[in-house]
Amino acid sequence: MGSYKTFEEYDQHITDELKENFTEILKGVGEDVEREGIVKTPERAAKAIQFLTSGHCEDPAKILKGAMFAEDYNDMVIVKDIELYSLCEHHILPFFGKAHIAYIPNGHIVGLSKIPRIVDVFARRLQVQERLTHDILECINDTLQPKGVAVVIEASHMCMMMRGVQKQNSVTTTSGFRGQFQKIETRNEFLKLISTSLS
């Protein structure tokens, strides 16, 4: 934080710098930065981009370690349909969708709310979907050291929908498997369960 006495002072400094940068961007695209609807936009955009990239300041492994419990449970644990929102690092446009995550405990389980928290931490960074999938997978695998872990992400990318090829109905799916999920029967069970509705 350098010469700043508190995190709040440092955070405000970053906000002020981003606000100036957004003001210049708006000028660059031909906007009147004194217009009523725009005058507060640089500050709003600065705070929004800080929130949307706040995952860089969080330690996902620490979040998991803070909610690990010894438990003799050896079957699959699945948290599916986890909403995610991230920013593509290539165009800083959103991509959004759902993550499906499973692990097979190896002496420890983790509080179920922590799994969506891990998704949020990695999603709130400038990302590509492939790395997001890998980051979540490896964090759970390295921290919990389960018998197996699986991650599937399905997402729509605004960089494809709003610009470029402009394909509004395309969905990108990425996946990763470790341990017992590399066995075809375990992987197939997981894929079947995440595609099945309980209702």
Point out the residues that are catalytic.
88-91, 129, 157, 159
Strands ordered across the beta sheet of 126-127 = 126-127, 77-88, 94-104, 148-157, 172-179
CA–CA separation, 199 and 189 (whole Å): 19
Give 162's contacts (C-beta < 8 A, 6+ positions apart): 93
CA–CA separation, 129 and 112 (whole Å): 23
CA–CA separation, 71 and 103 (whole Å): 14
DSSP bridge pairs for 104:
148
Report residue 19 as tokens: 């606000």
Residue 199: CA atoms inside 13 Å, Cβ hemisphere, count?
A: 0
DSSP bridge pairs for 82:
99
